[in-house]
């Protein structure tokens, strides 16, 4: 890899991941000053020459999403005005991804708005991971590489599997069936689905489990954990129906509101997440949470983009 033109610029959203990617590539993070004025305005200055460089800005747009998104846009503008040759926004977690369609009259499609903002600011391409909805790639008129955490999660799950015949992948809702099926196929195990429905207003949700989970080790798979309500309710339903050990895996640990307490008090034995989002203070040190590093995967994707090599071949 030609290191002379590659520049890594870290925002403040996840400095530990940025440092790990820097270490993996053997490329120092560029000197950047980011500060906030007393009224909340963000200021950014790149304190080294980036003219003609292949610049990668490392910044998930996680909570507080608006601050981190604005910081990313400002960094893109700073690099564009400093004559960087190409600017790639590396967004391990793409905030606002759940607002990918009109869910009701007179509502926005904010995932598209964010795509427009990134493009208008001056991003030449985007590198992201496990988009909540794959069609978001179509919101951009610039190249988008949506890479997958599955290879890393697969490796961790294989280490924890005792018997494939006694293991089942469980989708916590109907929307996650495609993801669960792909994981089950890779692991060579069966799959189950939790069908959640509310019979009528003011009546508690009923969870119907489609598939055999009695006496099985169950692995709940999702792309993100937000408030952990769906996840922990699904785990309780599995336990009530005779599941043995319960693991959960998700790429993005949003973990908002009561999520951490729910996980602590749940029937889940272990939750595997990645470091696409920096853990909130109350989630650090929680025994049930295991964080897997995405730095080698993201670093390799960055190297391949910089060297004009195939990124998709990472997942063949």
Please list the active-site residues: 196
By the 8 A CB rule, do 184 and 161 touch? no
Alpha-carbon span 261 to 179, nearest angstrom: 26
By the 8 A CB rule, do 246 and 269 touch? yes
Q: Which residues contact 165 (CB under 8 A, 6 or more apart)?
A: none
Alpha-carbon span 291 to 305, nearest angstrom: 26
Q: Which residues contact 20 (CB under 8 A, 6 or more apart)?
A: 275, 293, 295, 299
By the 8 A CB rule, do 252 and 274 touch? yes
Alpha-carbon span 191 to 216, nearest angstrom: 11
Alpha-carbon span 302 to 297, nearest angstrom: 9
The CA radius of gyration of the chain, in Å to the nearest whole number, is 21
What is the CA 296 to chain-centroid distance, rounded?
15
């Amino acid at each position: 890899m030609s290191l002379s033109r590659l520049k890594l610029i870290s925002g403040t959203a996840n400095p530990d991941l940025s440092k790990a990617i820097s270490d993996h590539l053997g490329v120092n993070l560029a000197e950047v000053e980011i500060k906030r004025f007393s009224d909340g305005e963000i200021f950014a200055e790149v304190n080294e020459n980036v003219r003609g460089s292949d610049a990668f800005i490392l910044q998930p747009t996680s909570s507080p999403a608006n601050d981190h998104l604005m910081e990313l846009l400002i960094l893109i503008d700073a690099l564009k005005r400093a004559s960087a040759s190409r600017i790639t926004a590396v967004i391990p977690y793409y905030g606002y991804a759940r607002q990918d369609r009109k869910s009701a009259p007179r509502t926005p499609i904010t995932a598209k708005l964010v795509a427009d903002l990134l493009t208008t600011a001056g991003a030449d391409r985007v590198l992201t991971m496990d988009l909540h909805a794959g069609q978001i790639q179509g919101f951009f008129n610039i190249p988008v590489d949506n890479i997958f955490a599955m290879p890393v999660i697969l490796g961790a799950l294989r280490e924890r599997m005792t018997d494939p015949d006694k293991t089942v992948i469980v989708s916590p809702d109907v929307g996650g069936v495609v993801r669960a099926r792909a994981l089950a196929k890779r692991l060579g195990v069966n799959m189950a689905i939790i069908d959640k429905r509310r019979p009528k207003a003011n009546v508690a949700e009923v969870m119907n489990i489609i598939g055999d989970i009695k006496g099985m080790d169950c692995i709940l798979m999702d792309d993100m954990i937000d408030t952990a309500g769906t996840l922990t309710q699904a785990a309780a339903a599995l336990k009530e129906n005779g599941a043995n050990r319960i693991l959960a895996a998700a790429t993005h640990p949003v973990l908002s509101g009561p999520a951490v307490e729910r996980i602590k008090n749940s029937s889940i034995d272990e939750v595997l997440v990645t470091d696409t989002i920096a853990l909130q203070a109350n989630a650090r040190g929680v025994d049930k949470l295991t964080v897997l590093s995405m730095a080698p995967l993201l670093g390799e994707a960055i190297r391949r983009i910089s060297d004009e090599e195939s990124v998709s071949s990472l997942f063949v």
